[in-house]
Amino acid sequence: MITKVTSRNNKITPVDLLTQKFGSKIILGDFSDAVFSDATFKNVIGIANLPMKAPVMQVLLENCIVLEYVKQFMTNQSVCFVDDGKQFSIVLEDGKKIEVPQDVDKAIRATVGDVKHWAGYLTEDGEHVIDLLKPAPGPHFYVNLLLGNRLGFKRTLQTTPKSVVDRFGRGSFRSHAATQVLATRFDVRQEKTVFRQTDSSIYMRTANRFFTLR
């Protein structure tokens, strides 16, 4: 049997499942993060006691040191990383706690310690300073950064997962009434977007107009 599952109709989130399986075994803290470890959506890999809500597990699993270590525990069970103060440990679904090796601890600690800097900071003049090399603190962060303050406007632009704006502000994103906002020109056009690749650049066509994204 084939079952279609999307982020909108999924009945449980990875963090919810993490809470169900580990909430009585460890202190998860105010913020935790998790990702499903397989297509059954029955197991997760998570981390507890984060300084803020952020996709930390996604970043950690991109680290080959962390990934190679955690793979040995992922068969038919959920696992959760927790900081015991001096050393990170991995907690198995049966409650067993194992201290991680020094190189894994160093990798996790470096990522978690840097989370608070992912969104940048405001200067005394209200300027938002961000480091383009750091991970995004959320899926819509760079689109919202481009839009700025939208409070109090009659037709507030809304972002969707179909946004294709990168951290340099290039691309486009969906807004109200099936219109497409081109980040390159700050234009609003009826939504009809296609891409074609050339040797030197990518052209975006919207409402029969071409714009070059270099």
pLDDT in tens, 69-117: 999 998 889 999 999 888 999 999 999 999 999 999 999 999 999 999 9
Residues 6 or more apart in contact with residue 2 via CB below 8 angstroms:
none
Dihedral angle of Cα 113, 31, 59, 84, to the nearest 10 degrees? 60
pLDDT in tens, 34-82: 999 988 889 999 999 999 999 999 999 999 999 999 999 988 899 999 9
Candidates 65, 5, 1; CA nearest to 36 is 5
Assign 212 a pLDDT band (cuts: 50, 70, 90). Answer: very low
pLDDT at 159: 52
CA distance 78 to 21: 8
Tokens of 94: 């049966």
Q: Is the backbone of residue 22 left (phi > 0), alpha (psi -120 to 50) or beta?
A: alpha
Angle value at C-alpha 111, between 95 and 82, nearest 5 degrees: 15
User: How many residues comprise the chain?
Assistant: 214
pLDDT at 197: 40
pLDDT at 11: 77
Which is more confident, 153 or 211?
Answer: 153
Q: Domain ranges for the chain, please list them.
A: 14-117, 139-213
> Average pLDDT, stretch 164-190?
60
Predicted TM-score of the model (pTM): 0.72
Question: C-alpha 125: how far from its chain's center?
Answer: 29
